[in-house]
C-alpha cells in the first residue's frame, strides 16, 4: 500500500521531470525525485499503468493517415535518437549517481532491518504487555472485589470509629475532670504540706526552746545537788565527829548530865539537819528525775515529730510520683 501523498499523477510528473533532465526514469530515480517516499511496488505499478496508457495512445495512431504516420515516425525516430544521445551523455554521471543511490539504498536497507528488529522487539514487548495487561485486568477485578468488600468493612469501621470517638470524647471529659481534681488535690496537698511543715517548724522551735530551758534548769539542779552532796558530806563528817564525841562522853561517865544533855541536844540538831539535808537531797533527786524524764519525753516527742515529717514527705513524694505516672499515661494515650 502506497504511503499518503503518493499518487499516479505524482509518479507521472516525476517521470516527466527526469526525462526532461535527461535522467533515466528508473524506479529508484523516481523514488528519489519523490523525496524518498512511496514503496517501489507502488511506483512500479503506476509506471506500468502509464506505459499501458501510452500504448493505448499509440494504437490510436492507426486511425491517422500514412503521411501523418510517416511524419510521426520520423519525429519519433528523431526523438529516439536524441534521447539515446542524451542517455549516452548522461550515462556516466548517471552511473555515479546510481552507485551513490545504491549505497544510500544499502544504508536504508540496514536501517529498515534495524527497524524490523526493533519492530519485532516491539511486537514481543507488545505481546508481553498484552499478557501483563491481562494480568493487570485480573488483578484489577480482584482489587475491585476487595475494594467492594473493603468499602463494606470501611462502613463498619466508620461506625466503630464514630463510637470510639464518642468514647474518646467521654474519656477526654473524664480525664479533664480527673486532671482538675488532681490539680486541686495537688494544690491542697501542697498547702497542707506547707502548713504542716510550718507547724512542725514551730513545734521544733518550741521544743528546742523548752529543751534549752530544761537543760538550763538541769544544770542549776545539778549544781544544787552537788552543793547538797557537799553539805551532806560535811554533815556526815560532823555527825561522825559528834558520834565520836558521844562515845567519848559516854566513856566518861563522870561527866555531868547537863553536858550529856547538851551533847544529845546537839546530836538531835545534827540528826535533824542531816534528815533535812537527806530530805532535800531526795527532793532534788526527784526533781532531777522529773526534769530528766520530761527531757526524755520532749526528745521522744521531737523524734516522733521528725518521723511524722519523714512519713509526710514520703507520702507527698509517693503522691507526686502517682501524679507523674498518671500524666505520663495521659500523654501516651493522647
Question: Per-residue pLDDT tens for 215-260?
Answer: 788 788 778 768 777 876 887 787 778 778 767 756 776 776 777 7
The pLDDT value given to residue 334: 65
The grid coordinates of residue 283 equal 527532793
The pLDDT value given to residue 3: 46
The grid coordinates of residue 74 equal 520520423
Q: Residue 24: what are its φ and ψ, rounded to 5°?
A: -65, 125
- The H or E element containing residue 222 is helix 66-251
Any idea what the Cα angle at residue 239 is, between residues 233 and 242, rounded to 5°? 145
Delineate the domains of the chain, giving CATH numbers in brackets.
8-127 (no CATH), 183-333 (1.20.120)
The grid coordinates of residue 129 equal 504487555
The pLDDT value given to residue 236: 76
- Does the structure show a pLDDT above 60 at 319? yes
CA 196, 198, 204, 209 torsion: positive or negative? negative
Residues 6+ apart with CB under 8 A from 54: none
Question: 173, 300 in Cβ contact below 8 A?
Answer: no
Question: 44, 27 in Cβ contact below 8 A?
Answer: yes
66 versus 264: the higher-pLDDT residue is: 264
The grid coordinates of residue 159 equal 461506625
The pLDDT value given to residue 86: 62
- Does the structure show a pLDDT above 80 at 185? no
| Pick from 203, 195, 198, 193: nearest CA to 318 | 193
pLDDT digits (tens, 9 = 90+) for 5-32: 588 889 999 988 998 888 888 899 999 9
CA 90, 92, 96, 99 torsion: positive or negative? positive
Amino acid at each position: 500500500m502506497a504511503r499518503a501523498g503518493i499518487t499516479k499523477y505524482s509518479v507521472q510528473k516525476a517521470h516527466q521531470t527526469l526525462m526532461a533532465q535527461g535522467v533515466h526514469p528508473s524506479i529508484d530515480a523516481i523514488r528519489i525525485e519523490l523525496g524518498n517516499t512511496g514503496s517501489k511496488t507502488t511506483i512500479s505499478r503506476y509506471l506500468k499503468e502509464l506505459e499501458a496508457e501510452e500504448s493505448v495512445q499509440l494504437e490510436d495512431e492507426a486511425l491517422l493517415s500514412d503521411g501523418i504516420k510517416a511524419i510521426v515516425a520520423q519525429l519519433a525516430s528523431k526523438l529516439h535518437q536524441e534521447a539515446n544521445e542524451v542517455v549516452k551523455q548522461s550515462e556516466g554521471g548517471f552511473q555515479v549517481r546510481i552507485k551513490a543511490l545504491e549505497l544510500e539504498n544499502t544504508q536504508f536497507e540496514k536501517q529498515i532491518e534495524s527497524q524490523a528488529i526493533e519492530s519485532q522487539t516491539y511486537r514481543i514487548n507488545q505481546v508481553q504487555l498484552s499478557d501483563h495487561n491481562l494480568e493487570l485486568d485480573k488483578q484489577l477485578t480482584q482489587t475491585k472485589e476487595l475494594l467492594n468488600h473493603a468499602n463494606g468493612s470501611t462502613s463498619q469501621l466508620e461506625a466503630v470509629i464514630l463510637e470510639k470517638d464518642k468514647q474518646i470524647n467521654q474519656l477526654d471529659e473524664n480525664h479533664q475532670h480527673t486532671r482538675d481534681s488532681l490539680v486541686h488535690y495537688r494544690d491542697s496537698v501542697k498547702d497542707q504540706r506547707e502548713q504542716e511543715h510550718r507547724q512542725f517548724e514551730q513545734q521544733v522551735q518550741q521544743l528546742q526552746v523548752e529543751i534549752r530551758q530544761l537543760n538550763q534548769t538541769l544544770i542549776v539542779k545539778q549544781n544544787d545537788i552537788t552543793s547538797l552532796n557537799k553539805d551532806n558530806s560535811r554533815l556526815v563528817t560532823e555527825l561522825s565527829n559528834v558520834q565520836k564525841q558521844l562515845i567519848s562522853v559516854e566513856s566518861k561517865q563522870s561527866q555531868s548530865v547537863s553536858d550529856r544533855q547538851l551533847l544529845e541536844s546537839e546530836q538531835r540538831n545534827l540528826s535533824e539537819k542531816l534528815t533535812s539535808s537527806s530530805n532535800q537531797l531526795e527532793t532534788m533527786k526527784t526533781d532531777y528525775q522529773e526534769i530528766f524524764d520530761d527531757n526524755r519525753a520532749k526528745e521522744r516527742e521531737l523524734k516522733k515529730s521528725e518521723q511524722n515529717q519523714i512519713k509526710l514527705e514520703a507520702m507527698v513524694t509517693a503522691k507526686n510520683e502517682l501524679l507523674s505516672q498518671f500524666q505520663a499515661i495521659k500523654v501516651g494515650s493522647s
